[in-house]
Structure formats: structure tokens, C-alpha cells
Structure 1
């Protein structure tokens, strides 16, 4: 398994992310090998919590601990309905938190998932 980190960022302006991507491209043009960065972003906490629900965090933890599993086996281990677990896996795959291997088993490719929440600017007093 990879020792990579998935960064889940909340409230970070798109411009800031685009700026970081531009800097990475410049480094590549100079022949430098920048550190790999994997991230997904959400405008606000409610959007993030709609994707990363408590049940899905439980699923991520169980998968990380067990290693690659079929969705059916994961559902059995979590004592959850297969259809619900299948839907959760599909959603988490869209957000890069879970992947499927060549055998069709699902797994968490990250050693860490770091959630970074930017607080709104405080209004001037």
C-alpha cells in the first residue's frame, strides 16, 4: 500500500488550489520532481459532511485495517446492508478515498486522510 496522504480541504478558495497547481507545473517544466499531492476540496463543511458521513468514515477505517475486500465481505464485517455499502463505496471512489484493485476488491490507498478546514474571515469590528 502507498504511504500517500489524501488531503480533504474545506473552505479553501479555488484560486489558491489553482495557484498551487500552477507552481507544480512550473517545477515540472524546470525538471524538478515535486512531492506528490492528492487532494479534494469542498466549499463548506456541509458539503464535506454529505460525502464523508460517519458511516463512511467507519467504512474507511474498516477497509484500511482489513486491506482489500469485496463489497459483500465489507458489508458483512460492518453488519450493514450490501446495497448501502455499495453506494457508499461508489461515492467514496468518486472522491478518491477508496479504489478498486485488479481483482475487483476495494481498498483505501492512503496511509492518512487529513481534513483541513479553513475558517471564514472574521468581520471587522
Structure 2
């Protein structure tokens, strides 16, 4: 699901950019300038986390498996999602709630069923090793 940056996303691919500590202020400024000029900028989706535990929650293998399964299979509910990944419904529900709290999935409610949904095809993670002054970032070390 994550890309290495060597192959740019296709035109129709929706990319969620996950950043740690700092957002892409240049991209935000470009978007605002385009809006001010009456243009329609390309959609840009970004989550910025300030806690390394949140970033770890995203990249845990079980959560990545859930995200991939939701994107590929578009399950009708939590039970179907659990069946697709061959896991206990309660565990899957807990992980899906965690992903929803992180802003990585939405639930669409249809009667009694909660349908997990992702709006992106790819996740790109930007994890700086140096702070903005070029020094090693030791805040979470």
C-alpha cells in the first residue's frame, strides 16, 4: 500500500499522504493560491500525526491487512471484514475503530450494518529523520 516514491501515482489514483510531525505547507500554500485564483486544485489528502504511536498503529501488519482488504474487497460490514481476514469479529471491530479514530477509514451505516470504507488507493508515509534545522529529531527517542 505504501509507495517508495520511485513510481509516481497514476492520474486516477487517490493517494493519502501520512506525515509525521509536520505537514506539507508548500502544498497547502499552492492549493490556497489556486483556490484564490479561481482554479480547482487537484485533490490532496493528508493526515499529520504528532505521536509516533499513531504512526505505529497505521503501519501495524494487522491494520495494513485490514486497509488492503477494505480497499480491495469493499466488505458489507464488520463481520464480513473479519471473515475476509480470518480474524475474530471483536478484534477486527477494535482495529477498525482505531483506524476510524486515526481518520483512515469511514463507516457508512446501512440499517444495522456498518460498512468500512477507504477513499484512497495508496498510502505514502513521510517520516523525517531530521528536524527543520537539520538536526536529529530525538523527541521520541
TM-score, length of structure 2 as denominator length: 0.69
Question: Does residue 1:6 correspond to 2:13, yes or no?
Answer: no
Distance in 2 of aligned mates of 1:45 and 1:59:
20
Which residue of structure 2 lines up, in the alignment, with residue 60 of structure 1? 67
Please identify which structure carries the higher helix content.
1
How far apart are 1:88 and its partner, in Å? 1.3
User: After superposition, what is the alpha-carbon deviation per residue over 1:73-118, rounded to whole angstroms, capped at 9, x for unaligned?
Assistant: 1112222221221121122123332222353311222111111211
How far apart are 1:51 and its partner, in Å? 4.0
Contact 1:6 1:113 in 2 (8 A): yes
How far apart are 1:66 and its partner, in Å? 0.9
Distance in 1 of aligned mates of 2:68 and 2:101:
18
* Structure 1 segment 1-125 matched on structure 2, within 5 A: 3-12=13-22, 16-17=24-25, 20-43=27-50, 45-103=52-110, 104-120=114-130, 121-122=134-135
Contact 2:19 2:46 in 1 (8 A): yes
Contact 2:106 2:117 in 1 (8 A): yes
RMSD: 2.4
Aligned length: 119
TM-score, length of structure 1 as denominator length: 0.77
How far apart are 1:46 and its partner, in Å? 4.2
Distance in 2 of aligned mates of 1:10 and 1:56:
18
